[in-house]
């Protein structure tokens, strides 16, 4: 029996039980993989690097390479400077990346290694680059780490030339999403005829085809040159406040590129917002195809609304996914009863709370820095019809017999998802399909013979 | 050798310092270097002390496993093993002190104590294991003292596991930390007497895919009872009865040899190395266990079980062998014990083993491995992905056995893959496991998908 809920009144105030977040460095590693020919480097013990690579590999089912400073007791006592310098030299010699993106760990942060100085003192071959982000595991979450590394790309690389050379181009910072979502956002942008730079960009890196050849550095990723030139773009769209705003703000400050913060385009409204913003800022013409796609979403919503309207749902995962997902669930007429993220930050509670209140729903709980033990407690108190979140929800799903629709990071027990977008209008269709099918499968499973219908 | 290994795709992977960690059977006079730490900057497949300790202890089903550190260490090790339980599922939940900056600055001891109190008041577990992580070792939290206090407060075993990651890049050090924690757990309290029995303990068995259950069925059939396994499907109470056994059989020597020798020293329990991977190994192990008991009835029953099972599976394995004969295979696993077992099984299937590597093998184990391989086969310690890739391509490997990181690499190269890692879901032990293993190798080596690899829709041959 997977149910391990204690009996009686339960108090949970300290530590985490069944977390729905992980630590900063893995987010930094994922972001760094979105730079072309970049080798992420973990400045800490070997285990961190091995765990991050394994976790990412389980989600994406693609090879994830990263190097490590391989701290031992000596390095921990005397500081990791020598390890990092040796590592940088070795990595450029052996693995020949264009760029090394170093992130710290709780160990090197606690030791207090001064990364900018160590990097300055390192041997970096002509034309190669080393950047770094501080990613102490004891602050924030993997989303914070992602955000810190994307910001580091800007602070290290982005440059601005003459104002006259500013290009009619948009920078898109896509947030911690799957390569399929980045691909979809690029497709939408291209169809609007807007020139773009996306960074980080893990398409063709973590969704690469099987060719019987292995590229240590696959085709994809934003090049160092593209990120450098992002300082000359006309506009930045930072998708997802938690993972992208810091980089957008840094780019505004450093290179004067105005930044519009938007949600990750999950759901009808967030996708509309992305398209409208580009239309307005670049005088873009929205092509027939996109209008058609949107029309199909609205059509499908109406065709299926009675399958899910009024159903209660618990949503958990990363803030930039959960926020627009909650918005879309409200569009669908469902009731977001419990909404949690593991990432700390009161702003999450305010934003989601305001959305739910605006929909006239009063009976709900929103929590930042929660864990799945707590969510399970609430569900015990009053159940829901559907769980929407990561693989880690499967214990609650089984214990309480509630269907789980897998969305977000990580998904460790199902395949194909990193290739299928949940963003854009096509992503809306996919979400509607997954959600309504999950509820209908349940209905078919549970109903009496006389209620078992051919046509639903 | 470091200059001739550039890859077609631009990635290279040979570090000149590593040439002593790779040997070719029959060619090198020198012995392999395997006690070296991984180089800084290497894309190593190795992990850390914490990882080693966690995989050994986590299968104890009814204990609470509390990770003292920032959240990541708990998240990445949450329920990732395929160790099955026949009762409590407590071990499949993730407990972390979730250390924050202020804990790191002011010390994490109060939070650890509070977390221990909270989980005990909620769950009343029979024991709590408290794992230290890098940052805890660094700031010097005295987890031994916190555990001792809490243990007195609550009257249960609260056992510190000294597993700070940076202590070593070699999981073996973590196995040792876990082994010490186990010895602490099972040591009888003063005055406590544990009754001696004719049962045996099964060390280094983690019940992946129910493997412990299967072997236990064999042993029961021949008249031997299993006291407890270390640690697959074990409970705290059962582990505490371990000193009452008359024999320890040791499967995964990397993690449990130290425990076996200490159980012999402290409780006078002799041990036997066994190996239940592959039919021949299984038969051999059962015979040696039966011989230890020396009871003619046990020996007779063992022989009849072996005969029956061999008769049953031999024709099935032969069918797979027909399909697999002549295929070339590579093995890259954590410990040498598993590598040796796999070499035998692959050879039983008529396959040629052309590469064998481990993350944690010892000198004499590598000698054994070399002895099993034919001339020209490669033996490698702590390989990096680029080395693995080069071997797979150069030696025209058809199928590889390894862990999660090697799986996707093998697939990308168009090579089949069998999971023989501690996360596998299939039972690969015993006579039934030998059949399952053959089927797994067959499925991946002979998948119809490989035929489509060469096809192209763009006109150009891929």
How distant is the Cα of B10 from the closest Cα of chain A, in angstroms? Answer: 7
Q: Distance, in angstroms, between B119 CA and closest chain A CA?
A: 9
Distance CA B331, CA B317 (A): 20
Give the mean pLDDT of A441-451: 96
Question: Three-state SS for B316?
Answer: helix
Cα(B444)–Cα(A316) distance, integer angstroms: 36
Please name the helix (run of DSSP H) or strand (run of DSSP E) that holds residue B149, with its range, or none: helix B143-154
Whether B165 has its CB under 8 Å from any CB of chain A: the answer is yes
Which of A176, A137, A145, A153 minimizes the C-alpha distance to A48? A137
CA A4 to chain centre: 30
A128 and A178 within one domain: no
| DSSP secondary structure letters along A66-118 | -EE----HHHHHH-SHHHHHHHHHHHHHHT--SEEEEEE-HHHHHHT--HHHH
DSSP H/E element including B418: strand B416-419
- My answer on whether A232 and A357 are in the same domain is no
H-assigned helices in B325-360 = 336-348
The verdict on residue A16 lying in a domain is no
Q: Cβ separation of B41 and A6 shorter than 8 Å?
A: no
The rounded Cα A311 to chain-centroid distance in angstroms is 26
Both A71 and A120 in one domain: the answer is yes
How many whole angstroms separate alpha carbon A8 and alpha carbon A362?
Answer: 27
Select from A14, A57, A217 the Cβ nearest to the Cβ of B111: A14
Q: Are B358 and B336 in contact (CB under 8 A)?
A: yes
Name the minimum distance, in Å, from the CA of B297 to any CA of chain A: 39
Decide if A323 is inside a domain: yes
Is B194 at the interface with chain A, CB within 8 A?
A: no
| Residue A9, burial from CB neighbour count under 10 angstroms (0-12, 13-18, 19+) | exposed
Q: At what angle do helices B49-57 and B253-267 cross, to 10 degrees?
A: 70
- Residues in B closer than 8 angstroms to A72, CB to CB, are 37, 166-169
**Which residues does B333 contact at the CB level (< 8 Å), separation at least 6?**
B339, B342, B357, B358, B359, B401, B402, B403, B420, B421
Residue A7 in domain: no
Predicted pLDDT at B1: 29
Kindly state whether residues A404 and A272 are assigned to the same domain: no
| Domain boundary residue, one of A157, A189, A204 | A157
CA A363 to chain B, closest CA, distance in angstroms equals 27
Inter-chain CB pairs, A–B, below 8 Å:
275
State ipTM. 0.95
**DSSP for residue B167:** G
Q: How far apart are CA A128 and CA B370, in angstroms?
A: 41
Is residue B231 classed as helix, strand or coil in its secondary structure? strand
Q: What fold does the segment set B200-307 form as a domain?
A: Rossmann fold (3.40.50)
One domain for residues A216 and A250:
yes
In B101-140, the residues whose Cβ lies within 8 Å of chain A are 101, 103-104, 111, 114-115, 118-119, 121-123, 133-135, 137-139
- Name every chain A residue with its beta carbon within 8 A of the beta carbon of B72: 22-26, 48, 51, 106, 137
Of the residues A136, A157, A178, the one at which a domain ends: A157
Task: Tell which wins on pLDDT, A82 or B5.
Answer: A82
What's chain A's average pLDDT? Answer: 95
Contact A201, A223 (CB under 8 A): no
Shortest CA gap B274–chain A (Å): 30
Q: Where are the domains of chain B?
A: 16-30+325-425, 49-186, 200-307
Same domain, A167 and A194: yes
Shared-domain flag, residues A308 and A429: yes
C-alpha to C-alpha distance for B328 and B404, rounded to whole angstroms: 20
Q: How far is A307 from chain B (nearest CA, A)?
A: 34
Query: What integer pLDDT is reported at residue B2 of this predicted model?
Result: 31
Q: Is the pLDDT at A159 greater than 60, yes or no?
A: yes
Work out the burial of residue B87: count CB atoms within 10 Å of its CB; fewer than 13 is exposed, 13-18 middle, 19 or more buried.
Answer: exposed
Task: Determine the Cα–Cα distance for residues B67 and A87; give it in Å rounded to an integer.
Answer: 29
State how far the Cα of A193 lies from the Cα of A187, in Å rounded to an integer: 10
**Who among B90, B99, B405 is closest to A4 (CB)?**
B90
What's the CA gap between B191 and A452, in Å, rounded? 66
Q: A48, B99: Cβ pair inside 8 Å? A: no
User: Domain check: are A315 and A430 in the same one?
Assistant: yes
B457 touches chain A (CB under 8 A): no
For residue A109, the model assigns a pLDDT of: 95
pLDDT band at A1 (very low <50, low <70, confident <90, very high): very low
Q: Comparing B23 with A40, which gets the higher pLDDT?
A: A40
Of the candidates A26, A39, A45, the beta carbon closest to that of B134 is on A45
| CATH H superfamily, domain B16-30+325-425 | Nitrogenase molybdenum iron protein domain (3.40.50.1980)
Which range marks the domain in which residue A409 is found? Answer: 289-450
Which tokens hold the place of A15? 């530590």
Residues A301 and A446 in one domain: yes
Tell whether A226 is covered by a domain: yes
Angstrom distances, CA of residue A211 to CA of B402, B405, B414, B418: 21, 18, 7, 20
List the single residue in A53, A136, A217 with the smallest CB-CB distance to B10.
A217
Which chain B residue has the Cα nearest residue A42?
Answer: B41
pLDDT value, residue B16: 62
| Interface test with chain A among B53, B120, B166, by most A beta carbons within 10 Å | B166
| Nearest-angstrom CA–CA distance, B57 and B35 | 24
Q: Does domain B49-186 match CATH 3.40.710.10? A: no
**Residue A54, SS3?**
helix
Q: Does A367 share its domain with A441?
A: yes
The SS3 call for residue A168 is strand
- For residue A78, what is the domain's CATH number? 3.40.50.1980
The b-or-e profile of A391-412 (16+ CB within 10 A means b, else e) is bbbbbbbebbebbbbbbbbbbb
What confidence score (pLDDT) does residue B369 get?
Answer: 87
In a shared domain, residues A363 and A340: yes
Residues A150 and A183 in one domain: no
pLDDT in tens, chain B (462 residues): 233 322 333 333 455 667 777 777 766 555 666 556 677 887 876 788 899 899 999 999 999 999 999 999 999 999 987 899 999 999 999 999 999 999 999 999 999 999 999 999 999 999 999 999 999 999 999 999 999 999 999 999 999 999 987 877 677 889 999 999 999 999 998 999 999 999 999 999 999 999 999 999 999 999 999 999 999 999 999 999 999 999 999 997 677 999 999 999 999 999 999 999 999 999 999 999 999 999 999 999 999 999 999 999 999 999 999 999 999 999 988 778 888 889 999 999 999 999 998 877 788 888 888 888 888 888 888 777 778 888 899 999 999 998 777 888 899 899 999 988 767 788 999 999 999 999 999 999 999 998 888 766 776 554
Interface test with A, best of B40, B63, B107 (most A CBs within 10 A): B40
Q: What pLDDT was estimated at residue A3?
A: 66
Alpha-carbon radius of gyration of chain B:
23
Q: In chain B, which residues have their Cβ closer than 8 Å to the Cβ of A6?
A: 122-123
Overall number of domains in chain A: 3
Using the predicted structure, report yes or no on whether residue A362 has a pLDDT greater than 70.
yes
How far apart, in Å, are the Cα atoms of B280 and each of B277, B307, B313?
Answer: 8, 11, 11
Q: Is A186 in contact with A177 (CB distance < 8 Å)? A: no
Mean pLDDT, residues A411-416 taken together: 96
Assess if residue A10 is contained within a domain: no
Chain A residue with CA closest to B90: the answer is A4
A451: closest CA of chain B, how far (Å): 36
Task: List, in sequence order, every residue forming a beta bridge with B331; answer none if it has no partner.
Answer: B356, B401
Picking from A103, A105, A102, A100, the residue whose alpha carbon sits closest to that of residue A76 is: A105
Q: Is B99 on the interface with A (CB under 8 A)?
A: yes
Residue range A338-353: mean pLDDT, rounded:
98
| Cβ separation A88–B41 shorter than 8 A | yes
């Amino acid at each position: 029996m997977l149910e391990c809920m204690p009996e009686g009144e339960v108090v949970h105030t300290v530590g985490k039980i069944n977390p729905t977040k992980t630590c900063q460095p893995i987010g930094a590693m994922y972001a760094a993989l979105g730079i072309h020919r970049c080798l992420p480097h973990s400045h800490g013990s070997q285990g961190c690097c091995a765990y991050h690579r394994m976790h990412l590999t389980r989600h994406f089912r693609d090879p994830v390479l990263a190097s490590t400073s391989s701290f031992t007791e000596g390095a921990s006592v005397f500081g990791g400077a020598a390890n990092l310098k040796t590592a940088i030299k070795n990595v450029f010699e052996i693995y020949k990346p264009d760029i090394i993106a170093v992130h710290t760990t709780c160990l090197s942060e606690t030791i207090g290694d001064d990364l900018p100085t160590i990097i300055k003192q390192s041997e970096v071959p002509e034309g190669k680059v080393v950047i770094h982000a501080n990613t102490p595991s004891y602050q924030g979450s993997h989303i914070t780490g992602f955000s810190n590394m994307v910001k580091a790309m800007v602070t290290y690389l982005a440059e601005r030339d003459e104002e006259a050379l500013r290009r009619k181009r948009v920078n898109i910072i896509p947030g911690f999403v799957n390569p399929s979502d980045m691909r979809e956002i690029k497709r939408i942008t291209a169809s609007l005829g807007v020139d773009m730079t996306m960074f980080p960009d893990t398409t063709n890196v973590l969704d690469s085809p099987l060719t019987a050849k292995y590229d240590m550095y696959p085709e994809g990723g934003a090049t160092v040159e593209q990120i450098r030139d992002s300082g000359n773009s006309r506009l930045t769209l930072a998708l997802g406040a938690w993972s992208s705003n810091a980089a957008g703000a840094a780019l505004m400050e450093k290179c004067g590129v105005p930044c519009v913060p938007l949600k990750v385009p999950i759901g009808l409204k967030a996708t509309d917002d992305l398209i409208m913003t580009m239309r307005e800022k670049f005088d873009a013409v929205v092509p027939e195809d996109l209008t058609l796609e949107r029309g199909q979403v609205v059509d499908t919503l109406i065709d299926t609304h009675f399958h899910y309207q009024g159903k209660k749902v618990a949503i958990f995962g990363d803030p930039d996914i959960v926020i627009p997902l909650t918005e879309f669930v409200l569009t669908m007429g469902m009731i977001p009863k419990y909404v949690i993220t593991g990432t700390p930050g009161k702003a999450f509670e305010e934003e989601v709370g305001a959305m739910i209140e605006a929909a006239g729903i009063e009976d709900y709980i929103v929590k930042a820095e929660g864990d799945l033990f707590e969510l399970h407690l609430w569900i015990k108190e009053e159940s829901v019809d559907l769980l929407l979140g990561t693989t880690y929800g499967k214990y609650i799903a089984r214990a309480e017999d509630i269907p789980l629709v897998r969305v977000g990071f990580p998904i460790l027990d199902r395949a194909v998802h990193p290739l299928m977008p949940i963003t854009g209008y096509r992503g809306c269709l996919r979400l509607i399909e997954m959600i309504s099918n999950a509820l209908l499968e349940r209905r078919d499973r549970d109903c009496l013979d006389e209620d078992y219908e051919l046509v639903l | 050798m470091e200059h001739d290994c550039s890859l077609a795709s631009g990635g290279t992977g040979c570090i000149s310092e590593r040439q002593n960690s790779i040997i070719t059977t029959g060619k090198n006079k020198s012995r392999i270097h395997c006690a070296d730490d991984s180089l800084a900057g290497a894309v190593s497949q190795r992990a850390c002390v914490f990882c080693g300790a966690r995989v050994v202890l986590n299968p104890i089903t009814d204990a609470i496993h509390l990770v003292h550190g920032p959240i990541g260490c708990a998240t990445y090790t949450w329920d990732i093993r395929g160790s099955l339980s026949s009762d409590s599922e407590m071990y499949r939940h993730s407990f972390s002190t979730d250390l924050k900056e202020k804990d790191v600055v002011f010390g994490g001891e109060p939070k650890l104590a509070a977390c221990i109190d909270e989980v005990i008041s909620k769950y009343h577990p029979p024991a709590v294991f408290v794992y230290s992580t890098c940052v805890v070792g660094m700031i010097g939290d005295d987890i031994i003292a916190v555990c001792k206090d809490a243990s007195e407060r609550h009257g249960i075993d609260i056992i510190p596991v000294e597993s700070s990651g940076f202590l070593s890049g070699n999981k073996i050090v973590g196995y040792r930390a876990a082994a010490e924690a186990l010895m602490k757990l099972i040591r009888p309290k003063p005055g406590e007497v544990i009754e001696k029995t004719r049962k045996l303990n099964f060390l280094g068995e983690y019940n992946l895919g129910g493997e412990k259950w299967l072997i236990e069925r064999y042993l029961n059939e021949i008249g031997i009872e299993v006291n407890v396994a270390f640690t697959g499907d074990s409970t705290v109470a059962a582990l505490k009865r371990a000193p009452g056994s008359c024999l320890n059989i040791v499967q995964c020597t990397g993690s449990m040899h130290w425990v076996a020798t200490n159980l012999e020293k402290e409780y006078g329990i002799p041990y036997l190395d066994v190996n239940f991977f592959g039919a021949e190994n299984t038969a051999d192990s059962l015979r040696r266990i039966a011989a230890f008991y020396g009871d003619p009835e046990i020996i007779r029953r063992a022989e009849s079980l072996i005969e029956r099972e061999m008769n049953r599976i031999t024709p099935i394995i032969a069918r797979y062998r027909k399909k697999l004969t002549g295929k070339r295979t590579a093995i890259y696993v954590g410990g040498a014990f598993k590598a040796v077992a796999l070499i035998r099984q692959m050879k039983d299937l008529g396959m040629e083993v052309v590469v064998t590597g481990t993350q944690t093998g010892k000198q004499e184990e590598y000698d054994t491995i070399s002895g099993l391989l034919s001339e020209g086969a490669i033996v490698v310690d702590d390989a990096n992905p680029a080395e693995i890739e080069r071997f797979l391509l150069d030696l025209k490997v058809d199928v590889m056995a390894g862990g999660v990181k090697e799986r996707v690499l093998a697939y990308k190269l168009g090579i089949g893959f069998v999971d023989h890692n501690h996360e596998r879901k299939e039972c690969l032990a015993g006579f039934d496991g030998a059949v399952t293993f053959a089927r797994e190798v067959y499925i991946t080596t002979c998948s119809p998908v490989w035929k489509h690899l060469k096809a192209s829709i763009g006109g150009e041959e891929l």
